[in-house]
Structure 1
Amino acid sequence: MSTALQNRRPVITGWSAVSPHGIGAEALVDGLRAQKSTGAPLDTGRWRVPAGRAHLVPGFETREVLGKKGTRSMDRVTGLAVSAVGGLLRQPGSVRETETGDRAALVLATTTGSAASMMDFTRSSLEGARPYDVDPAVMPNAVMNCAAGQCAIWFGIKGPNTTLAGGRAAGLLSVNYATRLLSSGRADTVLCGAAEEFSAARYWLERHSRGAEAPDVPLGEGAAVLLIQPAGSIGQERPALAEILAVRSRVAVGNQARGALEACVRAALDASDVRPEEVWAAVPGEAPGRLGQVERDVLTELCGSEATTRVPAVSRLGDVSSASASFQITMLLATADARPESAGRIALVTSADRDGSLVCAVLRLVGA
């Protein structure tokens, strides 16, 4: 590793995912390479939703994937998160002494945690003979930070443990939070990810809150996790994949979103000392409806249409909501790994949430 890289900003040194392409990083890479479709008809009997399509993790059953010990009452979003973190820590080159323990942190992005668990627990209180006639084993699942806590317990991650609820913007907000943990000396390593489950509760919430712009965009699910470390502390076991140059955010809704998003992107590029024409890949978050089109238009105008088409669209996985940005980054890294000309090039990743959060991250891809 060069001295110049060691003196620069935090770097991403590993990633893993549980996606509609399957469990593990290799499944996502193979699926992207083969351009496989991940949408499939829903089992209406199991999910209690109208007939339609969704992008589910194939064959994912928490107890079958993680085993029976400690999973009897584990909900789906927690199972997805634990599986993704475990996949990262089991990769060749993993150094458990630094990636777990007191100096390792975990940051997990979400929308609300598990909407299904929250609604089921509340329903049991309303339908029982008494309000407190509930299953106490299910109660932790109704807390938004349950998945992050379970990941820490399963793998001995004893540093800061944070859950960030920010909708589609949560993944990039968690990357920013991870860099702050490192720069402030609160951690030496951060496992930074996001998880989103499919459930009847989430289906109906989305159906009634999206409005007329994108009523039929199928939902997706999955979890993706990045390993973020200071550049000076990495070794040959996990070489740097990308350097995090800057993360910037804005808040705007309606007709103000376009101007605010452009200002956000320009601010992130300026902080990185990068010109728009230097961007090799621009990866939008593909929000359903008009906002997603605004996001793509802004990136196309600033960086060119070629940059916006180099990385497969995250919408191929369905609407994965809070996990979108984490999947955008993993798909970027998977694409760059297969394209040697990407070494040293600039990539930017954006997120736009319908509640007004706009975020842009600028990365420098690192060659082998």
Structure 2
Amino acid sequence: MSGGTSAPAAAPPVISAWSAVSPYGLGAPALVDGLRSGRPTGAPVDTARWRVPGGTAHLVPGFETRQVLGKKGTRSMDRVTGLAVSAVGGLLDQPEADRERETGERAGLVLGTTTGSAESMMDFTRTSLEGEAPFDVDPAVMPNAVMNCAAGQCSIWYGIRGPNTTLAGGRTAGLAALHYSARLLASGRAGSVLCAAAEEFSRARYWLERHSRGDQDVALGEGAAVLLVQRPDAVSPGRPPLAEILSVRTRVATGDRVRPVLEACVASALEAAGARPRDVWAASPGDAPGRLGRDERDALTALFGAEALERVPGVGRLGDVSAASATFQIAFLLATAALSDEAAGRLAVVTSADRDGSLVCAVLRLVAA
């Protein structure tokens, strides 16, 4: 068999826009201003409203779904869905948006989550148990109890008729969604993808975390962030690439194995990107609570040095935003790079570790604005 010329490698997908609904406020400008000022986002929780003990929480200030999105179609919309729909709308409403490319039959949406809305699931189950009959439930609330409710509502609201996917992965959901988005583009199943992740604060989530973490006292946060992921030949003139997605790699480990396996995961991602540790300008860990977060941060510090980790603010300043963590990490990275004279062309590593054992690493190349 005679040899032939191999086909050139496909150009990596790019992130060309982002937006967020965060404890800093609505939209990308609010997050950028919050990072620039360094102001804290935690505040005493309203115990009467949320029916939880006193403490600190990192909530989106003043967020009420019906006030932000209007009364039409939001009567039974739960909080995590409202956050996700608001974040996606914030990106599509940006002046540079190209609605023809970013919505429609060639546009996909991938949403990372933990379980959807734990509050909606538990409330719906409770009404079935407490009613005179198991079927005495509000049918309008039933869709909220399904994990993919938020993703479906995002597509319905904005006319996104391409692939619609929900990935449940806890803290690693954001990077899993990024990987899935890149695969949708590579397979030709979508021309652009809105890659999002969302997490809500609720009484149900508070108690689930409280009882599953033992003695750990963790201030919960909430929010949603969304990235516009596209092929480089499909970006619109108003949305130049912000970063290239060079590689995403995954591993599984718990306990004492987390650090060495995470280091192997990072090494694999760097190899796939054709890079070495000394090429990395910034590294962003997921700031998981407890030992898991310490092991992750120690591993990245050993690989890249403390200076690389200090270049991007830690996502922990938003509290524990769980499934939204990794997507916020990328938003923090892009916001920081836009304010830096030395970021263009440099590499960044974003990692995420969940207590169920999943580990993910993504390597990005920052692009000059």
**TM-score, normalised relative to structure 1:** 0.97
State the partner residue of 1:329. 330
Verify the 8 A CA contact 2:98 2:236 in the aligned structure 1.
no
| Contact 2:347/2:364 (8 A) holds in 1 | yes
CA distance in 2, matches of 1:341, 1:196: 33
2:317 aligned partner: 316
Is 1:21 the counterpart of 2:24 in the alignment?
A: yes
**CA RMSD between the two structures:** 0.9
Once the two structures are superposed, residues 236-263 of structure 1 have per-residue CA deviations (whole angstroms, 9 ceiling, x without a partner) of 2100000000000000111111111000
Give the Å deviation of 1:211.
Answer: 2.6
Q: 2:40 aligns with which of 37, 41, 53?
A: 37
Q: Please state how far the C-alpha of 1:133 moved relative to its aligned partner.
A: 0.5
The one of 81, 103, 108 equivalent to 2:106 is 103
2:364 alignment partner AA: L
Decide whether the 8 Å contact of 1:7 with 1:231 is kept in 2: no
1:93 Cα offset (Å): 1.1
CA distance in 2 between partners of 1:235 and 1:205 (Å): 43
Instruction: Give me the whole-angstrom Cα distance separating, in 1, the residues matched to 2:190 and 2:136.
Output: 41
Amino acid in the other structure paired with 1:306? E
Contact 2:195 2:228 (C-alpha < 8 Å) held by counterparts: yes
Aligned to 2:356, the other structure's residue is in SS state coil
Equivalent residue number for residue 301 of structure 2: 300
How many residue pairs match? The answer is 361
Q: Counterpart of 2:195 in 1: which secondary structure?
A: strand
Say yes or no: does 1:61 pair with 2:46. Answer: no
Structure 2 counterpart of 1:113: 116
Confirm or deny that 1:49 pairs with 2:55.
Answer: no
3-state DSSP of counterpart to 2:157: helix
C-alpha distance in 2 between matches for 1:7 and 1:257: 33
- 1:232 positional shift: 1.5
Do structure 1's residue 358 and structure 2's residue 359 form an aligned pair?
yes
The one-letter code of the counterpart of 1:271 is A
Instruction: State the distance in 1 between where 2:121 and 2:256 align.
Output: 34
Displacement of 1:7 in angstroms is 5.7
Q: Distance in 2 between matches of 1:91 and 1:302?
A: 37
- In structure 2, the residue matched to 1:346 is 347
3-state SS, counterpart of residue 155 of structure 2 = helix
Contact 2:119–2:202 under 8 Å retained in 1:
yes
1: CA distance between counterparts of 2:139 and 2:203? 22
Q: In the alignment, does 2:90 pair up with 1:90? A: no
Matched-pair contact (CA < 8 Å) for 2:193–2:228: yes
Report what 1:263 is aligned to. Answer: 264
SS in 2 for 1:330: helix
Percent of pairs with identical residues:
73
Distance in 1 (alpha carbons) for counterparts of 2:259 and 2:243: 28
Give matches, 1:246-285, under 5 Å: 246-285=247-286
Q: Deviations over 1:255-305 (max 9, x none)?
A: 111111000000000100111011000000000000000000000000111
TM-score by length of 2: 0.97
The separation in 1 between residues aligned to 2:235 and 2:48, in whole angstroms, is 49
Determine the structure 1 residue equivalent to 2:132. Answer: 129
- Give the whole-Å Cα distance in 2 for the aligned partners of 1:264 and 1:208: 31
Instruction: State the partner residue of 1:210.
Output: 213
Q: Determine whether 1:182 maps to 2:185.
A: yes
Q: Which moved more, 1:250-259 or 1:219-228?
A: 250-259
Amino acid at match of 1:339: S
Structure 1 unaligned segments of length 5 or more: list them. 1-5
Please list every run of at least 4 consecutive aligned residues from structure 1 whose deviation after the TM superposition is greater than 6 angstroms: none
